[in-house]
C-alpha cells in the first residue's frame, strides 16, 4: 500500500522532552536529569490512568484533564517526590520551557523533504491544542505540517483506538496508507495494533517491546523515516 500521509507523534519524537533537564539542572542543581525522567514518566502514567479508568464514556473520560494541566501536575508530583521545593517561580519557568521544547535538529529538513514528495504531513499528539501550537511555532514547523491533531476533542489519550482514529477523521486515507512515526515504543505498538503502517524512531538504541508485532520500520532518528518512504 502506498503511503499517502506521514503522521508524527510530537513529544519525544519531534520535540525533545528531556531537553528540559538543562533548565531543571540550573534550578535544582544535581537533580536535572532525575527531574526530566520522573516528570515524563508520571505525565504518561497519568494519561493512561485517566483513559483506562473510563474508556467507554460516550463523551470521553470523566477524569480527563488537558495534557498541559497533567504536565504541571506531573512536575509538582516529581518535585514533591524528590523532596525539592516547588516555588511558583521555578515551576512557571519549567512549564514555559516545556511549551518551547527543543526540536531534534534533523526535523525541519526531513519534514520539508516529505512535503516535497507530495505527502500529507501531520502531528497526532496527546498534547493540548495550545501547547502544540506553541511548540510547532517555536520550532518553525508551521509551513511543513498540514494538520496538528490533538486528542482534546475526544477526551481520551493514546493508545486508545479513538485517539488513532482521529487521523482518518482529518485525512481521507486508509489505515495502511498512514505512516505513523513515534519514538515511544508503546505508541508505535499501539498504532501498529490499530492498523497503521508504523515507524519507530529508536533514538536510545533500546530493544522493542516484548509484545508483538514489531513496527514495519525503525531507525535511529527522523532521517531514517525517509528510507521507509522509498
CATH code of the domain covering residue 62: 1.10.150.240
Domains in the chain, number: 2
Please indicate, yes or no, whether residues 125 and 149 belong to a single structural domain of this protein: yes
Please indicate, yes or no, whether residues 179 and 110 belong to a single structural domain of this protein: yes
Give percent above pLDDT 90 in the chain. 94
Q: Which domain holds residue 50?
A: 18-98
Domain boundary among 98, 133, 166: 98
| DSSP track, the chain | ----EEEE--BTTTB-GGGGHHHHHHHSTT-HHHHHHHHHHHHHHHHHHHHHHSTT-TT--TT---HHHHHHHHHHHHHHHTT----HHHHHHHHHHHTTPPBPTTHHHHHHHHHHTT-EEEEEESS-HHHHHHHHHHTT-GGG-SEEEESGGGT--TTSHHHHHHHHHHS---GGGEEEEES-HHHHHHHHHHT-EEEEE-TT-PPPPSSSPPPSEEESSTHHHHHHT-
Please indicate, yes or no, whether residues 150 and 195 belong to a single structural domain of this protein: yes
Q: pLDDT at position 55, please?
A: 86
Q: What is the mean pLDDT of residues 167-192?
A: 97
pLDDT tens profile 53-80: 998 888 889 999 999 999 999 999 999 9
Domain boundary among 51, 69, 98: 98
Please indicate, yes or no, whether residues 188 and 202 belong to a single structural domain of this protein: yes
CATH code of the domain covering residue 186: 3.40.50.1000
Q: What positions carry a catalytic annotation?
A: 9
pTM over 0.85: yes
Amino acid at each position: 500500500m502506498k503511503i499517502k500521509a506521514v503522521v508524527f507523534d510530537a513529544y519525544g519524537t519531534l520535540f525533545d522532552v528531556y531537553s528540559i533537564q538543562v533548565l531543571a539542572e540550573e534550578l535544582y542543581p544535581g537533580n536535572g536529569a532525575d527531574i526530566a525522567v520522573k516528570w515524563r514518566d508520571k505525565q504518561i502514567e497519568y494519561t493512561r490512568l485517566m483513559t483506562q479508568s473510563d474508556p467507554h464514556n460516550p463523551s470521553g473520560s470523566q477524569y480527563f484533564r488537558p495534557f498541559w494541566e497533567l504536565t504541571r501536575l506531573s512536575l509538582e508530583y516529581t518535585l514533591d517526590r524528590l523532596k525539592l521545593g516547588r516555588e511558583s517561580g521555578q515551576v512557571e519557568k519549567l512549564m514555559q520551557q516545556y511549551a518551547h521544547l527543543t526540536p531534534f535538529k534533523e526535523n525541519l529538513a526531513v519534514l520539508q523533504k516529505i512535503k516535497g514528495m507530495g505527502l500529507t504531513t501531520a502531528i497526532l499528539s496527546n498534547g493540548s491544542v495550545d501547547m502544540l501550537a506553541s511548540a510547532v511555532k517555536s520550532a518553525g514547523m508551521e509551513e511543513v505540517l498540514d494538520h496538528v491533531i490533538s486528542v482534546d476533542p475526544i477526551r481520551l489519550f493514546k493508545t486508545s483506538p479513538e485517539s488513532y482514529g482521529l487521523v482518518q477523521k482529518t485525512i481521507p486515507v486508509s489505515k495502511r496508507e498512514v505512516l505513523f512515526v513515534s519514538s515511544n515504543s508503546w505508541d508505535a505498538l499501539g498504532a501498529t495494533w490499530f492498523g497503521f503502517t508504523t515507524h519507530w524512531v529508536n533514538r536510545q538504541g533500546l530493544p522493542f517491546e516484548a509484545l508483538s508485532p514489531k513496527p514495519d520500520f525503525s531507525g535511529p532518528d527522523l532521517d531514517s523515516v525517509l528510507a521507509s518512504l522509498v
